[in-house]
Amino acid sequence: MKYTLTTSIGLEINLIDLDQSTFMEIRAARDNLFEALYIEQKFDLLIYNYLEYEQDLLSIASQHMIQNIYGATNSIRDLNNINRRIANLLSSCRMYLDQSIHHLNNIYGKNNSISKKVNSLKSEFYDNSFEYRMMDAMRNYVQHRGFAIHKMYDEKKKVDNGGQEEWQHVLTPFLRIPSIDEGQKLKKVILKEVEESQIQNELWDIKPIIRKYIDKICKINNEIRQLTREDIDAWDKLFVKYFGTVSKNLNFSLYNQPYSIQFSEKTDDDQIINLFYISMEVINTRKYLRNINSRVFDLDRSFVSNQIFTDTQP
């Protein structure tokens, strides 16, 4: 058998020979880098769904502040829009939580220690966070039973801003907690917690619940990054080395690097039986997603406001 490395454009000159063990090591590293990319892509999808939900709350509140658009039609449209955002968010959360373990198992094999640590953290959050349990159960309720949000309230109240009286506009979507009788798709343990809580209202402000839930998922993603960092860095360096090897052997200039490189396994009479490639875009995209989503933390203690600071005014 022959094992070779070249660019993906099919050059058949100056091929770089590899031994079998190196070829298998490269293939495993390539597969693992794709799995790591998939985890970051699904986390990015989750974050953008959350971002769109928060942006729509601010957009609707701003529109209500500026325009006279009150009425049944507009209210229903706003309600449906927020319910759509929440349904998308909860679906992407479940996809990330389930499939991230699947990708880790593809890298490290079933019953690996890293997947066990991540599952242990998920269980810890489920046991210790009511918000995590509530949103986990609400995802099933939204999929099988009905909408999460049944009412939104546009609150307008006077606030003091450095001695100046101003009007504050806040849009609040309310989570309707179903009764035991109608909550067949919501876990009874969650309904029991609600009944035993000090909050007797049927409608709960969903904003702090969602923020605490997403904050926990961000902590899970950070744990995955920490547990896999050393291995991923090693796989990155392996391919950076081989990109450099191809550039040197095939006389690429500094400004004309190969877009991708390919590896092939051939029989002694040059019949290809195994072929795969990788581009630097796989590595760069993962690093980009990791970087732009690296500031997501303390969501349960953060909010956005366009309030004017009076001490900065002339």
Q: For the chain, what is the HEC assignment?
A: CEEEEEECCCCCCCCEEECHHHHHHHHHHHHHHHHHHHHHHHHHHHHHHHHHHHHHHHHHHHHHHHCCCCCHHHHHHHHHHHHHHHHHHHHHHHHHHHHHHHHHHHHHCCCCHHHHHHHHHHHHHHHHCHHHHHHHHHHHHHHHCCCCEEEEEEEEEEEEECCEEEEEEEEEEEEECCCCCCCCCCCHHHHHHHHHCCCCCCEEECHHHHHHHHHHHHHHHHHHHHHHHHHHHHHHHHHHHHHHHHHHHCCCCCCCCCCEEEEEEECCCCCEEEEEEEEHHHHHHHHHHHHHCCCCCCHHHCCCCCCCCHHHCC
Q: Average pLDDT of 97-126? A: 97
User: Residue 245 has which token pair?
Assistant: 């090897």
- Percent of all residues in the chain with a pLDDT value above 90, rounded to a whole number: 45
Least confident of 99-113, 126-140, 208-222, 236-250: 236-250
- Residue 253: which pLDDT band, with cuts at 50, 70 and 90? low
Average pLDDT of the chain, as a whole number: 84
pLDDT in tens, 229-248: 999 999 999 998 888 877 77
- Residue 71: which pLDDT band, with cuts at 50, 70 and 90? low
Q: Average pLDDT of 92-102? A: 97
- Per-residue model confidence (pLDDT) at position 154: 81
- Per-residue model confidence (pLDDT) at position 230: 97
| 74 vs 148, higher pLDDT | 148
Contact (CB, 8 A) for 149 and 141: no
- Per-residue model confidence (pLDDT) at position 137: 87
As beta bridge partners, residue 160 has 165
Residue 48 CA to residue 214 CA, distance in Å, equals 12
Residue 299 CA to residue 294 CA, distance in Å, equals 13
Least confident of 109-113, 171-175, 309-313: 309-313
- Per-residue model confidence (pLDDT) at position 9: 58
| 77 vs 91, higher pLDDT | 91
- Percent of all residues in the chain with a pLDDT value above 70, rounded to a whole number: 82
Q: Average pLDDT of 266-284? A: 87
- Per-residue model confidence (pLDDT) at position 296: 74
How buried is 269 (Cβ within 10 angstroms: 0-12 exposed, 13-18 middle, 19+ buried)? exposed
User: Per-residue pLDDT for 72 more than 60?
Assistant: no
User: Per-residue pLDDT for 140 more than 80?
Assistant: yes
Q: Domain locations in the chain?
A: 22-233+278-308
User: Per-residue pLDDT for 191 more than 70?
Assistant: no
- Residue 181: which pLDDT band, with cuts at 50, 70 and 90? very low
User: Per-residue pLDDT for 183 more than 60?
Assistant: no
- Residue 186: which pLDDT band, with cuts at 50, 70 and 90? low
| 230 vs 152, higher pLDDT | 230
- Per-residue model confidence (pLDDT) at position 41: 98
User: Per-residue pLDDT for 114 more than 50?
Assistant: yes
Q: Average pLDDT of 182-210? A: 68
- Per-residue model confidence (pLDDT) at position 310: 58
- Residue 251: which pLDDT band, with cuts at 50, 70 and 90? low
User: Per-residue pLDDT for 93 more than 60?
Assistant: yes
- Residue 37: which pLDDT band, with cuts at 50, 70 and 90? very high
- Per-residue model confidence (pLDDT) at position 245: 79
